[in-house]
Chain A
Amino acid sequence: MSTGTHAFTDSMTMLRRQLRHMLRYPTLTLTAAGVPVVFLLLFVYVLGGVLGSGLGGPSGGRDTYVNYVVPGVILMTAATAAQGTAISVALDMTEGIVARFRTMAIARVSVLTGHVLGSLAQTLLSMTIVTGVALLVGFEPTADFGEWLGVIGVLVLIVLAITWLSVALAIMAKNVAAASNMLTPLMILPMMGSGFVPTDSMPAGLQWFADYQPFTPFIETLRGLLMGTPIGNNALLAIGWCALIALGGYLWAKKLYNREPTR
């Protein structure tokens, strides 16, 4: 029998396994949402008054800033959730269960696909929680139904890309602590883009980095869909970055997983 024929059913089995973990331990989902919520509240209530006025706009102040910062905070959720994914993948790799899977006639990559799809569900749930809190603190998106679908589509792409990358990093890390640390820089990236302040307010070197790193087109596309700001070529750039990161992460993770376990 070939493993290809079972790739789909095996992946679904592994997905069910991940969803079961998630339902049994909801703290994982809540933790992934917790950090971005804290950042949201800090930025809106502590810094928002001043930062909002700096943005200009009709009303200025805190109300303007909420609407500006939410897309960045939603993407920060992708980063915190990716850390959770990395930890659970690393945990799996260090336990005997993966050795068992390897000696069974199942589609090999299904272990990883299960993780990725499970994380996707978990991250989207965390993002929903974050968006819910944002609405409570004054976030007023202008998006219509079609634009909301667009938001979901873009977020799915971004989360898939980041998750495949974090799966690869987690297998490479070989232990849980290292896997967790490896994903920390990902949390900083939304801040070093257009997530919290416009990039043109940054010093030249940083602005150059901010304009060209993937999180800026991610955030600008999301902001455009949610708030009606101009998107320009950011959507295309965002999709390109997602495809590149997802494919790279997938191939890398698969290669690392199929590599013979060394002593």
Chain B
Amino acid sequence: MTTNLGPPALSATAVRKAYGDHEVLSGIDLDIPPGSVFALLGPNGAGKTTMVHILSTLIRADSGDIQVAGHDAARAPDAIRAAIGVTGQFSAVDGFLTGEENLLLMADLHHLPRRERRQRATDLLARFDLVDAARKPAATYSGGMRRRLDLAMTLVGRPRVIFLDEPTTGLDPRSRRTMWDTIRRLVTDEGVTIFLTTQYLDEADHLADRIAVLHQGTIVAQGTAQELKRHVGGGHITLRFADARDHDHAARTLNVTSRNDEALTLQVASRGDIRSLRALLDRLDRASLTVEELQIHTPDLDDVFFALTGDPTAEQEPVR
């Protein structure tokens, strides 16, 4: 990660938005340095899409201050629009047009010179592996191809800040990997700033330099993946026993944090390092206890997420 001393690519201060009585965002502060990937993580209905809509000038915040690429959202939305690219949650391609025509449409709307527009379309088709499908209507594309075309269209105007609203939702694992690689390359090769929303913790972990966890309209934690993981402290070891007698004996011998009498499992706090693991195994040996299975659990973003939101079952997003 590079340290940038320039102004942030995107900053938000005390952003609020309500629909009627329902407050969707209640005071969001963000500060994103240029050339970095920022992930807004949260369950459905947390307000992620609303935040993207506000930052990308699609809707206005009720209050708060927003600067994107050095421009103020309230005073100069068009200057922001000229500097950003948005790939939304729902496909934003023209299904009646071919992939190539979609890209040329974008080139025209960005007022690219005649020669450059065709070059740009050809480059992007090659880069997103759409050359074979270039002359077919986008309506016939698979989900992964549509998403690639969608992102390619966003890139036609060489945006400096790119918003990706759940870029891999609904994609198969392979398309998802491809999308991740593409996103990372955008940052390393072109130095753009990426603001992405996701409900997948591994996606944020994999892509983002910084992560903010959004829950019920407020940011409950913010930092690098490592910093967030430190929030929840150490991990644990799960032991499963073959019979109830051993299970019970071990529960009394060891310093357990929780036990499950039906599954015959015990949890022991541990950082998962060799020394503490060896000590644990020695104690089990001395007591002649037979362990059927042992699992080391190091803290991941899931733990962070559940620890912060305390709500493992994601709420349903209201129907539009």
Stretch at the interface among B25-33, B86-94, B268-276, B298-306: B86-94
A25 to B, closest residue via Cβ: B96
What is the 8 Å Cβ interface bit string for chain B, positions 278-298, against chain A (1 contact, 0 not)? 000000000000000000000
Given A9-B111, A100-B88, A103-B58, the answer on whether A262 and B94 have CB atoms closer than 8 Å is no
Is A204 in the interface zone, CB < 8 Å from B? no
Whether A97 and B109, one on each chain, are in contact in the complex, defined by CB atoms closer than 8 angstroms, is no
| A261 in contact with B59 given A13-B105, A104-B109, A106-B109 (CB within 8 Å) | yes
Is B78 a contact partner of A3 (Cβ separation < 8 A)? yes
The binding surface of chain B is classed by DSSP as loop
Given the known interface contacts A6-B111, A260-B60, the answer about A97 and B94 at a Cβ–Cβ threshold of 8 Å is yes
Which of A16-24, A31-39, A142-150, A213-221 lies at the binding interface? A16-24
Q: Please give the number of chain B residues whose Cβ is less than 8 angstroms from any Cβ of chain A in the complex.
A: 34
Collect the chain B residues with CB atoms within 8 Å of residue A3's CB. Answer: 78
Which chain B residues in 107-149 approach chain A with CB under 8 Å? 108-111, 137
Task: Indicate whether B56 reaches chain A with its CB closer than 8 angstroms.
Answer: yes
A20/B96 in contact, CB under 8 A: yes
User: Is A104 a contact of B81 with CB atoms below 8 Å?
Assistant: yes
Is there an interface contact between A100 and B320, defined as CB atoms closer than 8 Å? no
Report if B248 contacts A (CB, 8 A): no
Closest residue of chain B to A96 (Cβ to Cβ) is: B92
Residues of A near B320 (CB, < 8 A) are: 263
Residue A2 is within 8 A (CB to CB) of chain B in the complex: yes
B193 contacts the other chain (Cβ, under 8 Å)?
Answer: no
Which B residues contact A (CB, under 8 angstroms)?
19, 50, 53, 56-60, 78-79, 81-82, 84, 86, 88, 90-97, 101, 105, 108-111, 137, 153, 157, 318, 320
A-B contact pairs, 24 of them (CB 8 A): A1-B79, A6-B111, A9-B111, A13-B109, A17-B97, A20-B97, A21-B96, A95-B90, A99-B58, A99-B88, A99-B90, A100-B86, A100-B92, A100-B153, A103-B81, A103-B84, A103-B86, A104-B110, A105-B79, A105-B81, A260-B59, A261-B53, A262-B19, A263-B320
